[in-house]
């Protein structure tokens, strides 16, 4: 790999990750889809606390993580890259700068006014610093069994609902 290829790879990782709303992150266990913000050369995530996204197993300081970036419009994989995990200390200068960007992207927070205080107290803010992009395609399918979740599907509709919805509003 030449120096030009490395620069191109870094640029691809940065642009694709900036534009994607989700990245798939794998630590030592199964990969999880996580929302993120690109901040100062790394993907920054908040999670592992009440009301926030759960991180995959093995996402600890100094450990490697595999990141797969998807296309925002089509959902297909654009690039995969290896990252080094760095956990930010609450209220450090780096943490404050990262959280300022994260706060703007966090949707539907129940406590938007005190969200950063809760993150400092109960959550982890993690930086995924890119090491090397991978351009080769995987050999097999990346399909996996869905991870267990507390989310439920909606209940069945009442039996009379179709009649009510399809009922004519009056005769013409």
CA–CA separation, 96 vs 30, rounded Å? 30
Q: Which two tokens stand for residue 45?
A: 């995530």
Residue 95 has pLDDT above 60, yes or no: yes
Query: Cα-atom radius of gyration of the chain, to the nearest Å?
Result: 21
pLDDT of residue 138: 66
pTM: 0.79
pLDDT of residue 71: 84
Query: Average per-residue pLDDT in the chain?
Result: 87
Kindly state the average pLDDT of the residues 42-65: 93
72-93 burial string, b = 16+ CB within 10 Å, else e?
A: eeeeeebbbbebebbebebeee
Domain 3-166 -> CATH class: mainly beta
pLDDT of residue 170: 54
Give the residue extent of every domain in the chain: 3-166
Better-scored residue on pLDDT, 44 or 132 = 44
């Amino acid at each position: 790999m030449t120096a030009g290829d490395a620069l191109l790879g870094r640029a691809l990782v940065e642009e694709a990750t900036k534009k994607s709303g989700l990245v798939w992150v794998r630590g030592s266990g199964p990969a999880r889809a996580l929302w993120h913000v690109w901040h100062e050369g790394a993907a920054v995530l908040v999670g592992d606390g009440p009301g926030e996204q759960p991180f995959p197993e093995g996402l600890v300081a100094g450990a490697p993580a595999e990141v797969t970036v998807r296309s925002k419009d089509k959902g297909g994989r654009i690039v995969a890259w290896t990252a080094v995990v760095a956990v930010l200390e609450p209220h450090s200068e780096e943490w404050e700068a990262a959280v300022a960007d994260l706060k703007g992207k966090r949707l539907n927070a129940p406590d938007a006014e005190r969200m950063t205080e809760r993150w400092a107290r109960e959550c982890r803010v993690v930086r995924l610093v890119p090491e090397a992009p991978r351009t080769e395609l995987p050999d097999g399918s990346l399909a996996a069994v869905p991870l267990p979740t507390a989310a439920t599907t909606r209940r069945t509709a009442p039996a009379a609902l179709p009649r009510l919805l399809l009922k004519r509003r009056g005769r013409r």
